[in-house]
Structure 1
Amino acid sequence: MTFQSYFVLAVFILTIIGLIKFQQRPSQVFGVALLTLFSTQMVTTDQVILSLSNQGLLTLILLMLCSIALEKTRLLRLVAMKVIQPNYSATWLRLFGLTVLSSAFLNNTAVVSTMLGPIRNNPNHSASKLLIPLSYAAILGGTLTLVGTSTNLIVNSLVLDANLPSLGFFDFTLVGICVVVACGVTLYFCRSLLPDRKIQGDTAQEYFIEAKVKPESSLVGKSIDENGLRHLQSLFLVEIMRGDLQLTAINPNQVIQANDKLIFSGDISKVSQLRLFDGLSIFAESSGLPLGNLREVVVRPESILNGKSLKSVGFRSLFDAAVVAIKRDGEKVSGKIGKLKIKPGDFLVLAVGEDFKSRRNIRKNFILLSDVELDSRLSGKKELLAIAGFFVAIGLAALGVIPLFKAVLLLLGVLLLSGCVTSSELLRRFPTDIWVIISSAIVLSYALQNSGVIDNFNQLMSASTHLFSPLVALIAIFAVTLLLTELVTNNAAAALIFPIAYGLALSIDANPTAFIMAVAFGASASFISPYGYQTNLMVFNAGQYKLNDFIKIGIPVSLVYSVTCIIAIVGVFGLTAA
């Protein structure tokens, strides 16, 4: 081996070590590897440009950007409403089935994010009994199709980079169905291992939001559960004001009446969800101010508001603003916003008018903090366009009518032109980390080829074919990928192991497709560690789990997943090269 070979191999090994040591910063680790290889001329400028503009990588990014519009619709919230049932087994089965199906076609991170609120807020079952199954179901569902998980799309980008035909939309499906069924059965029978832990919330730190039910609202005459008011993302219905009557023990069967004032607590950026309900008016909107321009402020000790209610001081005319939400640190607020007595240090979110900035009394009464950016929601024709457009694009690609890249590029153009997403949203949500990770991994694979590491590896394998049967080699690749996924991240594991797996398949004259699938499915096998997959990390925090909770239920699921994957890959794709 030459000096260049040893140098690139050292960068490869150090990258793996860096990913293990700095688990929360994989993009920085890969970025350093890219800059090192480029600055030492281990890769050419053309190869770096090709890596950054890889078609599979751009397809993944476009798909993630298009899914932003889908997250702004009611689709996933309606799915979540169908999940929670009084019976735990029925809830578990619905949760697993709907999450698997949703994750096969939608971004599984978005699916889990939408389900978190309803599950945490459900009155029937402990969230800790449902959140790990939610994450595992999203992981398993993602293995069913090409677009189900970023891992599959990353592997496909590496396939295209190796000048191989693109993987088909349903190439993963047969193996995916096998692992969904096998792991679903295992997870169901292991559900007793899930902890029954009460989730401790800190409602005093959350904003207090009021919405009034108009007499003509379709919510009137239906229960809270029927209206889906307990299935919101990061917003929780905490009480109802009915005239002078204050209802604090909220029953899911409580029927909504006209002119009820619904009091929510939670994340203020999610307040636009309430606008999706027919005839539900947010407090600030009744003052004639839209929610498009929000400011967060703190009430000064010398403010004229102190000890007075918003209505008594004529807040709207005094400041050209209306209160959307209020938060009081260390104390839970309750009652109608308009009648609450303001205290020094109260946090207010204001919908402000055009004259707000020019009013001389603003800085005398408030400490200005920052603008508040809402998670906007789609309704009407835009909502229909976002949902229908997404599934039409995916359907056309699945049927082979047009390539997936072209379908999602056209869809993103339509979403932008129609206003379903904005350029600022795309810039804010652009998956920079994934772009850096994948493009850097492709650069690393170029360096391994340029330096002769891959050729030396192939020669070594060719001379040792008596030690590596195709089946043993396949199992080894799957096991190494799975281990890396648990230690680092799924995307990083797939990107690092792909060139080794492909080179190994060629050197022992095995079927490359089987080895490619071993990498894809191995990289999705994150069940034991909460850090290897983003959905695991999301539920780890939300469910207040301990590492041991994942280990207890993740080990049997991971073992069943591994055995099923190996058997199914060999059965579906075979080990012998065509």
Structure 2
Amino acid sequence: MISFSMALVFAVIIFLLVALYSGKLRAEVSFFIAVTVLIIAGVLSPSEALAGFANEQLAVIMLLLVISDIIRKTDVINLVFNQLFRGTKTVSGFVFRMVAFVAPTSAFFNNTPLVAMMMPYVYSWSKKNKISPSKLLIPLSYAAILGGCMTLVGTSTNLVVNGMAVDAGFNSLNIFDFAWVGFPMVLVGGIYLALFSDKILPSHKDAMDDFKDGWREYFVETEIEANSPIVGKSVSEAGLRNLSGNFLVEIIRKTAVITPVSPEHILRANDKLIFTGETSSIPELSKPELGLSLPKECIASELSDVVEVVVSHNSWLIGRRVKNTHFRGKYDAAIVAIHRNGAKISGKIGSVVIQAGDVLLLFAGRDFDIRATGNEFYVISKKENKKVDAKKAVMVIAGVLLSVVVSANTALSLFSCLLVVLAISFFTKTLTGSEIKRGINLNMMLIMAFGLALGKAMSNSGAAEFIANNILKVAEPFGPVAILGMVFLVTNLLASYMTNLAAVAIIFPISVGIAQSMNLPLEPFIMIVAFGGAANFITPIGYQTNLMVYGSGGYSFNDFMKIGLPLTILYIVIGTLLMSWRYGLM
């Protein structure tokens, strides 16, 4: 019989599924509401709800995020890229070498900074060889996912699942337990991507190509006449901040270029004003009270360099209208266009609500590289200024690898080792205090901690046991191998349309309950949940690196499904069989 607490947990799970799939609420807000309801109802105690924040695996994830970001800010990896891809001219050759580098690297370093660091190089190589970046960006994301599944520290999903196991009273998994499935799948996945990426993936124009080919659609130029009433006034006083369909992005004054333009900037006679916006709104620039020359096409050589960035999955910009972000003041850059799902968004830019994965085209000022040092977005078409000395970065890389080896062979925990690496990075000024603060992803921390609490609620209420028993009634005749594959499939589908952390939080207690009911080894039923949550290839929204390449590659959902579905099937079949053989379930 279903109890009140069990029914409430089911209702909360349904709420999470709807909220996360619809995107109406941010993931951390959805989890906060869910846990709050469970606390008020008495399903969770306050200490159980907050226990996740003291979880060692969660702390390890935060440390890895901060440390991995050091590598993104150095040129040392670019030197490796230049050697690795020298002489490569074809998509298959590039993809094969990319998987060979990215997969082993992402096994030990967070894959989000790794993909962010690799994307500009992929762009520059594809332009040089006249190949569309859309042939290479999905394989880049998949290579990072495949590699991350090889070790315990390779993805946050693996660490979260291990954290759930430890909280439930089970032994912690070893760092290389995942390699029994992860390494063979890197080989299989790498060969698959090298053979079929060029055949399956489309050849799209990216946002920058679209801009270069049709820049006249983005900008219009006008000039302040000598007798204009706005001469001597600020941009704001002249009413140029409140135009209905156009946005002032640049002023050309003789040989000087002023961008972005502040509201307080004083206008002078003969200033050339560059606007961006809808062509249907151009007539508003011809109002007599503005005293501007008739709008005309811009000269391409007069335009500033345009920088292309992609909004990260945890950016504070998500859900905000452009005009409410104060983007120009914060980053010394003006947004001139936004691309989503491979197409330019029409309408007034200031009214557009920014979403994760959006590609922003920016007019960047001189201080842009200095100010854009956080993880709100990743620059993909212009190389960022590198601030970290290469020798120090190599020391950090060596420190992380040594931490893995030491923690795998001694009683010293990975958390302790990484803490030492972080301390050394701080005292050698490789990282500053503000950079450490920016590197800590509070949104991800909330999701992971509340995800652990949700798993606890499923156990406390009996919901996990109830679901496990009902699954067994149907699936037990098919044997443990089939059940293991079904757990993988269900976890993967949930992760594809929600988030991987939410999926593993829901499925973990169910999977463990099945193993305990059938008196089977726990390890395969723990790890299969991690593989199902992390090996996410069929949608762009299920994994953060997929979302990063989604907008910048101009992909559709269907593009991910075409190349990702066969890889997912391969992973489910081969992964399930390998796990079953490894733990004697066959």
Normalised to the residue count of structure 1, the TM-score between the two structures is: 0.70
Give the secondary structure class of the aligned counterpart of 1:138: helix
Paired with 2:367 and 2:194, the residues of 1 have a C-alpha distance of 48
* 1:406 paired residue number: 416
Moved more, 296-305 or 109-118: 296-305
* 2:76 paired residue number: 75
Which residue, out of 267, 271, 285, partners 1:302?
Answer: 267
* 1:573 paired residue number: 583
* 1:6 paired residue number: 7
* 2:159 paired residue number: 153
Distance 1:463 1:541, change over 3 A: closer
1:97 alignment partner AA: A
* 1:53-101 CA distance string (max 9 Å, x none): 1111111112212222222222332333233622433222111211112
2:371 alignment partner AA: E
Paired with 2:64 and 2:549, the residues of 1 have a C-alpha distance of 24
* 2:359 paired residue number: none
How far is the alpha carbon of 1:479 from its aligned partner? Answer: 0.9
Say whether the 8 Å CA contact 1:386–1:415 is kept in structure 2.
Answer: yes
Paired with 1:429 and 1:165, the residues of 2 have a C-alpha distance of 30
* 1:546 paired residue number: 556
How far is the alpha carbon of 1:458 from its aligned partner? Answer: 5.5
Say whether the 8 Å CA contact 1:56–1:158 is kept in structure 2.
Answer: no
1:183 alignment partner AA: G
Distance 1:548 1:461, change over 3 A: closer
* 1:119 paired residue number: 122
Say whether the 8 Å CA contact 2:107–2:154 is kept in structure 1.
Answer: yes
Find out whether 1:66 has 2:31 as its counterpart. no
Which residue, out of 101, 113, 134, partners 2:104?
Answer: 101
Say whether the 8 Å CA contact 2:149–2:535 is kept in structure 1.
Answer: no
Paired with 1:475 and 1:203, the residues of 2 have a C-alpha distance of 43
Give the secondary structure class of the aligned counterpart of 1:153: helix
* 1:86 paired residue number: 89
Give the secondary structure class of the aligned counterpart of 2:208: coil
How many residues in Structure 1 have an aligned counterpart in Structure 2? 445
How far is the alpha carbon of 1:453 from its aligned partner? Answer: 2.6
Distance 1:77 1:15, change over 3 A: same
Where do 1:445-464 residues align within 5 Å?
445-457=455-467
Which residue, out of 364, 389, 393, partners 1:383?
Answer: 393
Paired with 1:165 and 1:408, the residues of 2 have a C-alpha distance of 21
1:422 alignment partner AA: T
How far is the alpha carbon of 1:204 from its aligned partner? Answer: 7.5
Say whether the 8 Å CA contact 1:69–1:415 is kept in structure 2.
Answer: no
Distance 1:305 1:107, change over 3 A: farther
How far is the alpha carbon of 1:200 from its aligned partner? Answer: 4.0
How far is the alpha carbon of 1:488 from its aligned partner? Answer: 1.1
1:176 alignment partner AA: G
Give the secondary structure class of the aligned counterpart of 1:190: helix
* 1:140-181 CA distance string (max 9 Å, x none): 111111111111111111111111111111001121112112
* 2:547 paired residue number: 537
* 2:314 paired residue number: none
* 2:169 paired residue number: 163
Say whether the 8 Å CA contact 1:297–1:369 is kept in structure 2.
Answer: no
* 2:137 paired residue number: 131
* 2:481 paired residue number: 471
Give the secondary structure class of the aligned counterpart of 2:520: coil
2:436 alignment partner AA: L
Say whether the 8 Å CA contact 2:487–2:529 is kept in structure 1.
Answer: yes
Distance 1:333 1:564, change over 3 A: same
Where do 1:147-546 residues align within 5 Å?
147-191=153-197, 192-201=199-208, 298=262, 300=265, 302=267, 332-333=300-301, 373-375=371-373, 377-379=387-389, 382-400=392-410, 402-457=412-467, 466-467=476-477, 469-546=479-556
* 1:26 paired residue number: 27
Distance 1:447 1:92, change over 3 A: closer
Give the secondary structure class of the aligned counterpart of 1:186: helix
How far is the alpha carbon of 1:47 from its aligned partner? Answer: 1.2
Distance 1:150 1:331, change over 3 A: farther
Paired with 1:10 and 1:77, the residues of 2 have a C-alpha distance of 49
Say whether the 8 Å CA contact 1:96–1:134 is kept in structure 2.
Answer: yes
Paired with 2:467 and 2:136, the residues of 1 have a C-alpha distance of 45
Paired with 2:298 and 2:29, the residues of 1 have a C-alpha distance of 38
Unaligned runs of 5+ residues in structure 1 are 206-294, 308-328, 338-346, 351-366
Distance 1:489 1:75, change over 3 A: farther
Say whether the 8 Å CA contact 2:122–2:133 is kept in structure 1.
Answer: yes
How far is the alpha carbon of 1:132 from its aligned partner? Answer: 1.3
Say whether the 8 Å CA contact 1:528–1:550 is kept in structure 2.
Answer: yes
How far is the alpha carbon of 1:333 from its aligned partner? Answer: 4.2
How far is the alpha carbon of 1:522 from its aligned partner? Answer: 0.8
Paired with 1:138 and 1:8, the residues of 2 have a C-alpha distance of 34
1:28 alignment partner AA: V
Give the secondary structure class of the aligned counterpart of 2:508: helix
Paired with 2:536 and 2:28, the residues of 1 have a C-alpha distance of 19
Unaligned runs of 5+ residues in structure 2 are 213-258, 273-296, 306-327, 333-364, 374-385
Paired with 1:110 and 1:21, the residues of 2 have a C-alpha distance of 27
Paired with 2:459 and 2:23, the residues of 1 have a C-alpha distance of 27
How far is the alpha carbon of 1:510 from its aligned partner? Answer: 1.6
How far is the alpha carbon of 1:439 from its aligned partner? Answer: 1.1
Distance 1:432 1:149, change over 3 A: same
Identity rate, percent = 33
Paired with 2:114 and 2:531, the residues of 1 have a C-alpha distance of 20
Paired with 2:5 and 2:540, the residues of 1 have a C-alpha distance of 37
Give the secondary structure class of the aligned counterpart of 1:201: helix
* 1:363 paired residue number: none
Moved more, 142-151 or 44-53: 44-53
Find out whether 1:564 has 2:565 as its counterpart. no
* 2:17 paired residue number: 16
Paired with 1:465 and 1:96, the residues of 2 have a C-alpha distance of 37
Find out whether 1:49 has 2:47 as its counterpart. no
